[in-house]
Amino acid sequence: MGLVALSAADTKDGTLAITLPPDDPACREALVRVGEALGDLSRAVSLRAGRASAATVRLPEPTVPARGVGFETIDGLPEINDAIEDLLGSVTSEILTAQPDGPRPSAVLAEALSAVRDRIAAGVSMRTLYQHSTRFDEPTKEYVRAVTSYGAQVRTLAEFFDRMIIVDRRAALIPANAARTSAVLITHPAVVHFLADIFERAWDRAESYPFLPVRAADAAPEVIPAIRGSIQKLLIEGRSDKEIARRLGLSLRSLQAHVARLKEEHGAEHRLQLGYLMGLQGKAAATREHAAITRESAAVARDGVAVARENAAAITPENGPVPS
């Protein structure tokens, strides 16, 4: 086949305009084949590029944020204690702490007293959340009576989030694993603000810790119903005794005593049956509550209809609408 003569020129929009010789079938046939070949090549290149792109795309591996970007992981109990000391040593205005897991060792509490007194004297505000079970622990009650006399505030809840320390609303320290052998120091402002808000909401729901001498028998009516309610909820969820005890800050023996009392109250022969019976009772209570709300809503609707009828009756043809 002979060469095909073409003339070409650039257009204003940057494309290439090709002028074919008039009435040249060979030229046109050749260009059709070239166009088909270029189309095949274009599709092959696009497909190859797509496969290569898909093959090279990788999700980033989870990494611990580096120091200086708002998060720092701290491994080891000695290192965590050092971080706590550094954090508390830099406080200027406020310390918020959540201490779950029930009573703390008396030696730890005694060691903390002088530091608390010094910080309160320096004008630092201190608020601490414990669990209800601490109200039955004598060393913890002595500690609370002492720190509240200095000016600290202490409240208790049946169950709440994990251990947490927030200093001046600029830094927070939380556990990084279940064993609490790792921690995360958080300085990212948005995250610290979020954690402080969680603390405030829990604080609003918590009950003031009695800092006057209170016998366990006197404290029981105030906190036992809440503890029992949490135990029931966790039993219905199928939690183990060990997990429930840890979450509520109870000893395993104390938890089992509560469970035994609940089995007696519900007539259950074993733990599985207890969870089932309490679940049925909860559903029945929810049904009764729904029925009560429905009745109340219906009553409100009837009252609304009656008021509307009275207003309509007050509009007479002679007087027109009654001025409001």
Q: Is 157 part of any domain?
A: yes
230 close to 131: Cβ distance less than 8 angstroms: no
Q: How many domains is the chain partitioned into structurally? A: 2
pLDDT score, position 251: 78
CA 192 to chain centre: 13
pLDDT score, position 299: 63
Distance CA 117, CA 112 (A): 9
Distance CA 253, CA 217 (A): 18
Whether 114 and 235 map to the same domain: the answer is no
pLDDT at 169 over 90: yes
Whether 207 and 301 map to the same domain: the answer is no
Nearest residue to 125 via CA among 205, 199, 212, 223: 199
In DSSP terms, which residues pair with 184 in a beta bridge?
Answer: 73, 174
3 state SS of 240: coil
pLDDT at 53 over 50: no
Tell me whether residue 121 is exposed, middle or buried, using C-beta atoms within 10 angstroms of its C-beta: 0 to 12, 13 to 18, 19 or more: exposed
Whether 232 and 179 map to the same domain: the answer is no
Whether 203 and 228 map to the same domain: the answer is no
Whether 77 and 199 map to the same domain: the answer is yes
pLDDT at 1 over 80: no
Whether 196 and 271 map to the same domain: the answer is no
Whether 97 and 202 map to the same domain: the answer is yes
Whether 94 and 192 map to the same domain: the answer is yes
What average pLDDT does the segment 25-40 reach? 53
Q: Is 239 part of any domain?
A: yes
Query: Which has the higher per-residue pLDDT, 235 or 152?
Result: 152
Whether 270 and 206 map to the same domain: the answer is no
Q: Is 55 part of any domain?
A: no
For residue range 265-293, list pLDDT tens digits in order: 888 888 778 877 888 876 666 566 666 66
pLDDT at 239 over 70: yes
252 close to 240: Cβ distance less than 8 angstroms: no
Q: Is 51 part of any domain?
A: no
Whether 201 and 237 map to the same domain: the answer is no
In DSSP terms, which residues pair with 153 in a beta bridge?
Answer: 127
Confidence of residue 64 (pLDDT cuts 50, 70, 90): very low
**Do the bridges between strand 16-19 and strand 7-10 make them parallel or antiparallel, or are there none, so unpaired?**
antiparallel
Tell me, yes or no, if the pTM score tops 0.75: no
> Domain range for residue 285?
215-313
Whether 116 and 170 map to the same domain: the answer is yes
pLDDT at 211 over 80: no
pLDDT score, position 248: 76
- 232: domain CATH number is 1.10.10.10
Domain boundary among 182, 214, 246: 214
Domain boundary among 214, 239, 262: 214
What average pLDDT does the segment 143-149 reach? 88
If you average pLDDT over each of 176-190, 223-237, 279-293, which comes out highest?
A: 176-190
Query: Which has the higher per-residue pLDDT, 47 or 203?
Result: 203
Q: Is 250 part of any domain?
A: yes
Q: Is 289 part of any domain?
A: yes
Q: Which tokens sit at 54?
A: 């898909």
- 144: domain CATH number is 3.30.870.10
pLDDT at 218 over 60: no
**Average pLDDT of the chain, as a whole number:** 74
Whether 236 and 207 map to the same domain: the answer is no
Find the range with the poorest average confidence among 76-85, 92-101, 244-253: 244-253
Domain boundary among 171, 186, 214: 214
